[in-house]
């Protein structure tokens, strides 16, 4: 704190103390005047009142200080401050009365003086504080700034208003709250009234000339956020929000950090309650390998693993730029983590073996994969070489070096696949599941989830670019639906699976209801401050090769089971003929080496009969 700020604070406290000490004799003699019906105080009583006044001032002043009346600021005086005043005055009156009784036996002193004195002193101390606050807030509201409506009159909303009132640099005037709790209607929070519920947002904005809506509900789920945002859009008023609760928990944001509404806020699900102590126990002090560590999922895995204190983090990727970027990021944010960046291709068996022999990892998170559906549909050989044979190389190396766990990151496109990408991931799932069943030294675990918001190559960054260019936004079909989750959510599930999996399982997150891609496009246009169909056109181009209208999370032949986590399900595969399966993989490798695309596709169909 600067010397000038320290001086201002000290001056403010001394001024408040002087005011309160002066009010003590004022209240004392006002009590006598009331006791004698505003007539002159008899001399015998006046002499006694003057004689005991120094004791009253000292004892009452000490009570003020003891109860912390000077820790607050008059401008922000509130109910807790009034309660402190009541306690301080009550304690001072009782102690003073007891002391004077012991000294004088209350001779020449009416018994009613002390209750009257206490009541008057409450008015003289509490009244000026409330008036001062009212004048300051009125002065603030009369100044420049955007008239802001706060959604949510809970703890976060109260903190936000308090920060805005303290720091005029926000440039906002808190004009009112809306909150769905009926009991809060009409309440004042720091002088700002609750004007209605969330359904009243358009009417409140019109009535009070609102310039900006601030959403202060960090715990709001996506359904609640969609309802609030719909109200804001009807009001045609810009909006900002506080960070989500899960972002606050992992330290990505602070509670008063207002930001724009992201599409993740509208499509995210209720956060899954995970056993972080168990997850930390599985990571802390151990050597962790993340393949594809420079990609969207892999990079977020690296970030979350680094926070859990691994013994060493080995990042393996075939992209020089991505590898460099994540190495620099983790190195700067977690300098104490032992970090190894390994540039290589998982189809290069000697390179994979060298990495495992050198680092001796405990856990492998296999995030490396090709995933662009239309691209892989036209390049089946590369899809299977990377997603199937590359996965086999890493899995066999993990088992050979007796890693504790190998976690395969899969996709809902592997269920009843209609494209090469999904079928290739299905083969990888079958391989890892059956590795776990044949008595491997390593626990082979699969994690399956839907589309990841804002990952490289996903629809969200594509739509964002199209909107920035003025459109059109291209959607393949008006009825296409997909499951969505955020990158951090997917990585948390992956780490949970590594902690609790025993081998051979497929963990699937209960992802709620699938979302229409057309709805996603419309919401992204609106969040950009534009109108779908007017400012930015949405056009339908037809389904692409291998694309389905709906994705599924479970295969019909999978047996489902619950886990200790309500939102995480377990799928167990049917067994396959391992000898025939391995033989087919060997033939697939030969076909890939021969660049025999028809043979590659035929073998894929044999490995995944439901593909087609």
What lies within 8 Å, CB to CB, of 604 at 6+ separation is 380, 384, 420, 423, 424, 427, 588, 611
Nearest C-alpha neighbor of 108 from the set 49, 59, 56, 54: 49
Helical residues (DSSP H) of 142-275, grouped into ranges: 155-166, 201-208, 222-235, 245-249, 263-267
From 1-10, 278-287, 422-431, 463-472, the region with the lowest mean pLDDT:
1-10
What is the Cα–Cα distance from 414 to 32, expressed in whole angstroms?
Answer: 88
543 in a structural domain: no
Residues 179, 97 within the same domain: no
Q: Higher model confidence: residue 320 or residue 133?
A: 320
**73 within a domain of the structure (yes/no):** yes
pLDDT digit string (tens) for 406-436? Answer: 999 998 888 888 899 999 999 999 999 888 7
What pLDDT, on a 0 to 100 scale, did the predictor assign at position 307? 92
- Residue after which a domain boundary falls, among 234, 261, 288: 261
Quick one: pLDDT band at residue 140, thresholds 50, 70, 90?
low
Range of the domain at 563: 276-457+484-515+550-575
Does one domain contain both 168 and 295? no
Query: What pLDDT sits at residue 126?
Result: 80
- The mean pLDDT of 146-154, rounded to a whole number, is 89
**Tokens read off for 403:** 């890693």
- Whether residue 288 contacts residue 316, with contact meaning beta carbons closer than 8 Å, is answered with no
**What's the mean pLDDT when you consider all of the chain?**
83
Structure tokens at 180: 């769905």
For 211, counting Cβ atoms within 10 Å of its Cβ (0-12 exposed, 13-18 middle, 19+ buried), the class is middle
Q: What percent of the chain has pLDDT over 70?
A: 84
Contacts of 121 (CB under 8 A, 6+ apart): 23, 24, 27, 60, 89, 93
In b/e form, how buried is each residue of 66-95, taking b as 16+ CB within 10 angstroms? ebebbebbbbbbbeebeebbeebbebbbeb
pLDDT one-digit tens code per residue, 457-506: 678 888 888 988 888 999 988 888 887 777 877 888 888 888 888 888 88
pLDDT of residue 178: 93
Q: Which of 121-135, 141-155, 237-251, 453-467 comes out lowest in average pLDDT?
A: 237-251
pLDDT digits (tens, 9 = 90+) for 496-538: 888 888 888 888 877 667 888 888 888 888 888 788 888 889 9
Q: What pairing do the DSSP bridges indicate for beta strands 146-151 and 172-178? A: parallel
Predicted confidence at residue 254, as pLDDT, reads: 42
Look at residue 405 in the predicted model and tell me its pLDDT: 93
Shared-domain flag, residues 282 and 159:
no
Residues of the chain by 3-state class (helix, strand, coil), percent to 5: 55, 15, 30
Q: What is the mean pLDDT of residues 26-41?
A: 86
259-270 pLDDT per residue, tens: 777 777 777 656
318 & 428 share domain:
yes
Q: Does residue 303 register a pLDDT over 70?
A: yes
pLDDT score for 16: 78
| DSSP bridge partners of 287 | 312
| Per-residue model confidence (pLDDT) at position 251 | 42
Q: What is the pLDDT of residue 573?
A: 65
Asked if residue 298 and residue 195 are part of one domain, the reply reads: no
Question: Is position 605 within any domain?
Answer: no
Q: Point out the domain boundary residue: 208, 235, 261.
A: 261
Same domain, yes or no, for 315 and 200? Answer: no
pLDDT at 584 over 90: yes
Residue 542 included in any domain: no
Which of 319 and 38 is assigned the larger pLDDT?
Answer: 319
pLDDT, average across residues 558-572 = 68
- pLDDT digit string (tens) for 34-61? 888 888 888 888 888 888 888 888 888 8
The answer on 16 and 50 residing in a single domain is yes
Task: Determine the Cα–Cα distance for residues 409 and 38; give it in Å rounded to an integer.
Answer: 85
pLDDT value at position 5? 47
Tell me what pLDDT residue 232 has: 87
pLDDT at 406: 96
Residues 6+ apart with CB under 8 A from 430: 573, 576, 581, 607
Residue 585 confidence (pLDDT) above 90? yes
Helices 420-437 and 597-607, axial angle in degrees (round to 10): 50
Q: Please tell me whether residues 255 and 385 are part of one structural domain.
A: no
pLDDT, mean of residues 5-17: 65
Residue 565: pLDDT band (50, 70, 90) is low
| 158, 129: one domain | no
Closest residue by Cα to residue 101 from 85, 113, 117, 116: 113
Quick one: 9 and 39 in the same domain? yes
201-220: average pLDDT: 89
What percent of the chain has a predicted confidence (pLDDT) above 90?
Answer: 32
Q: Of 112, 138, 164, which marks where a domain is finished?
A: 138
Confidence grade of residue 324 (pLDDT, cut at 50, 70, 90): very high
- Assess if residue 530 is contained within a domain: no
Winning range, highest mean pLDDT, from 77-81, 103-107, 235-239, 300-304 = 300-304
Q: pLDDT tens digit string along 218-230?
A: 878 778 888 888 8
User: Which ranges in 105-200 belong to alpha helices (H)?
Assistant: 113-141, 155-166
Q: Is the confidence at residue 116, as pLDDT, over 80? A: yes
User: How confident is the model at residue 439, as a pLDDT?
Assistant: 67
Q: Is residue 299 part of a domain?
A: yes
Confidence at residue 554, expressed as pLDDT on a 0 to 100 scale: 64
Q: What is the arithmetic mean of pLDDT over 333-348?
A: 95
Residue 137 above 50 pLDDT? yes
How confident is the model at residue 170, as a pLDDT? 64
Q: Calculate mean pLDDT across residues 159-170.
A: 75
pLDDT value of residue 249: 42
Domains contained in the chain, number: 3
Higher pLDDT pick, 44 / 152: 152
- Per-residue pLDDT at 443: 92
* Residue 598 forms part of a structural domain: no
The pLDDT assigned to 591 comes to 95
In the predicted model, is pLDDT for residue 252 greater than 50? no
Reported as a single tens digit per residue, the pLDDT across 429-456 is: 999 988 876 667 899 999 987 777 766 6
CATH number at residue 251: 3.40.50.720
Q: Report the chain's C-alpha Rg in angstroms.
A: 34
**Per-residue pLDDT at 567:** 67
Contact (CB, 8 A) for 176 and 192: yes
In a shared domain, residues 492 and 378: yes
Looking at the structure, tell me whether residues 45 and 88 fall in a common domain.
yes
- Does residue 593 fall inside a structural domain? no
């Amino acid at each position: 704190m600067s010397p000038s700020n320290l001086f201002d604070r000290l001056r403010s406290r001394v001024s408040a103390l002087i005011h309160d000490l002066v009010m003590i004799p004022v209240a004392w003699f006002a009590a006598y005047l009331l006791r004698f019906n505003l007539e002159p105080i008899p001399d015998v009583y006046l002499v006694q009142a003057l004689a005991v006044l120094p004791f009253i001032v000292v004892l009452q002043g000490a009570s003020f200080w003891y109860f912390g009346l000077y820790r607050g600021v008059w401008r922000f005086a509130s109910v807790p401050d009034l309660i402190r005043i009541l306690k301080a005055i009550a304690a001072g009156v009782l102690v003073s009365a007891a002391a004077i009784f012991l000294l004088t036996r209350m001779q020449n002193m009416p018994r009613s003086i002390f209750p009257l004195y206490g009541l008057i002193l409450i008015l003289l101390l509490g009244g000026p504080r409330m008036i001062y606050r009212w004048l300051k807030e009125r002065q603030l509201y009369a100044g420049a700034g955007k008239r802001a409506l706060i959604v949510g009159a809970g703890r976060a909303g109260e903190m936000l208003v308090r920060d805005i009132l303290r720091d005029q640099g926000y440039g906002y005037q808190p004009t009112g709250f809306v909150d769905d709790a009926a009991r809060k209607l009409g309440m004042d929070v720091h002088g700002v009234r609750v004007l209605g519920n969330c359904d009243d947002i358009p009417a409140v904005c019109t009535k009070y000339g609102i310039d900006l809506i601030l959403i202060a509900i960090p715990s709001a789920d996506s359904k609640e956020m969609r309802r609030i945002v719909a109200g804001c859009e009807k009001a045609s008023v810009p909006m900002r929000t506080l960070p989500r609760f899960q972002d606050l928990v992992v330290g990505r944001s602070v509670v008063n950090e207002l930001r724009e509404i992201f599409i993740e806020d509208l499509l995210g699900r209720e956060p899954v309650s995970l056993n972080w102590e168990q997850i930390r126990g599985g990571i802390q002090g151990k050597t962790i390998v993340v393949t594809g560590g420079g990609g969207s999922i892999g990079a977020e895995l690296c970030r979350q693993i680094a926070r859990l204190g691994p013994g060493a983090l080995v990042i393996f990727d075939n992209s020089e730029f991505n590898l460099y970027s994540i190495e620099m990021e983790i190195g700067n944010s977690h300098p104490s983590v032992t970090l190894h960046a390994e540039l290589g291709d998982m189809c290069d068996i000697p390179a994979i073996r060298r990495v495992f022999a050198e680092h001796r990892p405990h856990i492998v998170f296999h995030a490396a994969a090709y995933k662009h559906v239309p691209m892989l549909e036209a390049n089946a050989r590369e899809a299977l070489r990377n997603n199937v044979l590359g996965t086999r190389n890493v899995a066999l190396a993990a088992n050979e070096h007796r890693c504790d766990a190998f976690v395969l990151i899969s996709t809902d496109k592997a269920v009843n696949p209609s494209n090469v990408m999904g079928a290739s991931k299905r083969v990888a799932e079958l391989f890892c599941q059956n590795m776990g069943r044949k008595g491997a030294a390593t626990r082979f675990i699969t994690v399956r989830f839907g589309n990841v918001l804002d990952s490289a190559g996903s629809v969200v960054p594509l739509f964002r670019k199209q909107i920035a260019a003025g459109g059109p936004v291209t959607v393949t079909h008006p009825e296409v639906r997909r499951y969505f989750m955020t990158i951090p959510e997917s990585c948390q599930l992956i780490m949970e699976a590594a902690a609790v999996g025993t081998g051979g399982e497929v963990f699937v997150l209960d992802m709620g209801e699938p979302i229409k891609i057309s709805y996603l496009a419309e919401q992204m246009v609106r969040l950009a401050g534009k109108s779908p169909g007017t400012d930015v056109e949405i056009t339908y181009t037809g389904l692409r090769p291998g694309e389905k209208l709906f994705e599924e999370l479970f295969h019909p032949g999978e047996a489902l089971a619950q886990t200790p986590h309500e939102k995480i399900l377990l799928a167990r595969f049917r067994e396959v003929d391992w000898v025939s399966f391995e033989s087919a993989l060997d033939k697939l490798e030969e076909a890939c080496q021969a660049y025999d695309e028809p043979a590659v596709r035929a073998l894929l169909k044999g490995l995944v009969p439901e593909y087609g």
